[in-house]
Amino acid sequence: MQAPAVVQTEKLEKSYRLGKNVVKALRGVSLTLHPGEFVVVTGPSGSGKTTLLNIIGTLDKPTSGRVLIDGQDLSGMKDGQLTKLRRHKIGFVFQFHNLIPVLSALENVELPLLTAGVKSKKARERAHSLLGRVELADRTDHLPDELSGGEQQRVAIARALANSPKVILADEPTGDLDTKTGSAVVQVMYELAKQENATVMVVTHDPVVSSRADRLFEMRDGVINEGKPARPSVEQHLIRAVESVPPERQQSLFQPN
């Protein structure tokens, strides 16, 4: 028997008014994600991928429809309730890491634990364990600018997993990395999420990420369709190594896509 859904969206619609025009970012998006799934969403810029990610992550609200996280309906929640749910059940991984520059790798991973009220000793043990699992046990005291891009992203993955969230949302996690480093980061994220039984939803243009998907979706004009994951060819890898796919236009998580 399949475990209950971790994420459910039901007929999500999202519209924005830009001047006199109304832009429909989402058009009836419904999907169900289960524990331990590694889900990838692809699509051109402006297709609604980031908007969907923001709404699932409680950073934006739909015009209509609803989202359930671990069985909890977000539509009736107040800001304080959403903050608590986000803190304990959702982890985020971004393209540009978003590590706090004055904190060490260990302190960056500890921070969400301490914010959630975990005692300092237990928080430090959990942070040490996660950094060891992303192969950064010897880099715990380094500041972000003393780490490579790939190492910073692995710290970000460890931080996202710190509070054992039910779902991890990743926005172009390999967009700022070369092919080899990006592939290694995806492997780490995939393996850790499976170990933690966390549902991962990744928005990406990267075929290397898409090739690891348990389920692959494509978004176009605010509509989502499920496709079949396919391992990219050698030619695709070579093309990306020579001329990387440009990252999606950088924007705040609070802005429409």
* pLDDT, tens digit (0-9, with 9 covering 90-100), for 85-101: 998 899 998 877 789 99
Residue 153 DSSP label: H
Mean pLDDT over all residues of the chain? 84
**Cβ(89)–Cβ(199) under 8 Å?**
no
Say whether pLDDT at 141 is over 90: yes
Say what angle helices 149-161 and 179-196 make with each other, to 10 degrees. 10
Arithmetic mean of pLDDT, 223-244:
56
Side-chain-facing half-sphere of 78: CA atoms under 13 Å? 1
Looking at 111-120, 125-134, 149-158, 238-247, which range is the least confident one?
A: 238-247
Q: What is the pLDDT of residue 118?
A: 92
- Give CA–CA dist 92/108, Å, rounded: 13
Q: What is the pLDDT of residue 210?
A: 84
Q: Phi and psi dihedrals of 249, rounded to 5?
A: -45, 120
Side-chain-facing half-sphere of 87: CA atoms under 13 Å? 14
Arithmetic mean of pLDDT, 56-80:
91
Domain 35-58+83-242, CATH among 3.40.1160.10, 3.40.50.1860, 3.40.50.150, 3.40.50.300: 3.40.50.300
Q: What is the pLDDT of residue 112?
A: 92
Residue 93 DSSP label: E
Say whether pLDDT at 190 is over 90: no
| Sequence spans of domains, the chain | 35-58+83-242
**Cβ(38)–Cβ(193) under 8 Å?**
yes
Q: Dmax of the chain from CA atoms?
A: 55
- Give CA–CA dist 29/26, Å, rounded: 6
Side-chain-facing half-sphere of 211: CA atoms under 13 Å? 13
CA dihedral (38, 43, 46, 47) positive or negative: negative
pLDDT category of residue 230 using cuts at 50, 70 and 90: low
Say whether pLDDT at 248 is over 60: no
User: Which residue from 197, 232, 237, 198 is spatially nearest to 212, judged by alpha carbons?
Assistant: 232
